[in-house]
Amino acid sequence: MLLTITYVLLRSTIPEDPTDAGEWLSTGSGRVDFALWLVPFAGIAFLWFIGVIRDRLGDHEDQFFSSILFGSGLLFIAMTFIATALAGALIAAYQLDPVATIENGIYSLERETIFRVTNVFGVRMAGVFMFSAGTIWLRSGTMPRWMVALTYTVAIVQLFSLGFTLWFTMLFPSWVLVVSVHFLLYPPTVVENDDDDTSAETTSA
């Protein structure tokens, strides 16, 4: 939810037209500053989400795909941090010298960098994350089939889609929300283990 709010703030502030005059740098600075404040907590929550996925797997964890899951998750959140930091730095530079920021190419360069980091590389890493999670769940049987099918579908869309909009990145946090709600509604069952008692009785005998 924190990541969704961050994306909404950024997408509603930064216009889609790459040739815009940069008016949002003065009118939307408050929303971007709030997104900058939220995104570290969103990153912490996402790291917690990765931990919950791995904890749910337990002994069923696939080391190969879990490594890809962990790596792609870290890359995704790192790119989110970078893109948000660039937006904040762009606003700070504009406040110091508005004319120079627009005319010397800093605005165009950073704006395109933000879009490429989030909408190309970040989206692809999110797709890899979901593909790895879906494969682990399919092999281990720890998640229902409909969840695996949904995960693969969204992952394929994000990995191979040739076109995208500024709101395309919303697919991943929406998927995270669905998985999180499922985890909350269906907690793991704790199985009582009497091995310790059996071992104690055997030792006594």
Give per-residue pLDDT as tens, 141-186: 888 899 999 999 999 888 887 555 656 778 888 899 999 999 888 8
pLDDT number for residue 74: 93
Q: Concatenate the DSSP letters of all residues of 76-96 into one string.
A: HHHHHHHHHHHHHHHHHHHHH
pLDDT at 130 over 90: yes
Residues in Cβ contact with 155 at an 8 Å cutoff, skipping those fewer than 6 apart = 127, 128, 130, 131, 134
What's the confidence (pLDDT) of residue 165? 63
- Residue reference for tokens 């890359």: 75
pLDDT digits (tens, 9 = 90+) for 97-122: 888 877 787 888 888 888 888 878 88
Mean pLDDT of the chain: 80
Q: Report the C-alpha gap between 41 and 10 in whole angstroms.
A: 16
Mapping DSSP to helix (H, G, I), strand (E, B) and coil, where does residue 9 land? Answer: helix
